[in-house]
Amino acid sequence: QVQLVESGGGLVQAGGSLRLSCAASGSNFSIHRMGWYRQAPGKQRELVAIISSGGFTNYADSVKGRFTISRDNAKNTVYLQMNRLKPEDTAVYYCNLLWGTRDYWGQGTQVTVSS
């Protein structure tokens, strides 16, 4: 049973930083693609960043240069460092694990950026 537990969300002023963490269990973490997605009120869930088992990364255009995804396979944890946050980054952020063709999701963590 795969479990993903996010932490690190909160309220921050525009221009500030937050670091999200996602601890995974129930799988061979190192072989899976991991990602962060977000969903703002009234909007669809969207990709923020993904990282492959080999460490290759990809980002949404809206966060390039501001966010960094990383993983620590020894700790079964993926991180999202968010810098220069903007009010439009406000959303619930979800951790994602891709196992074959099946997606697993965490419960989400709220990030609120005040102007």
pLDDT of residue 28: 85
How confident is the model over 82-107, as pLDDT tens digits?
999 999 999 999 999 999 999 999 99
Percent helix, strand, coil in the chain, to 5, is 5, 55, 40
Burial of 114 per CB tally in 10 Å (0-12, 13-18, 19+): exposed
Q: Is residue 1's pLDDT more than 90?
A: no
Distance in angstroms (rounded) separating the CA atoms of residues 82 and 85 = 7
DSSP 103: E
pLDDT of residue 34: 96
Residue length of the chain: 115
Alpha carbon of residue 35 to chain centroid: 6
How confident is the model over 30-75, as pLDDT tens digits?
889 999 999 999 999 999 999 999 999 999 999 999 999 999 999 9
pLDDT of residue 30: 83
Taking alpha carbons only, the member of 108, 95, 82, 94 closest to residue 14 is 82
- For the residues 3-16, what does the mean pLDDT come to? 97
Taking alpha carbons only, the member of 5, 8, 19 closest to residue 70 is 19
Q: Is residue 26's pLDDT more than 90?
A: no
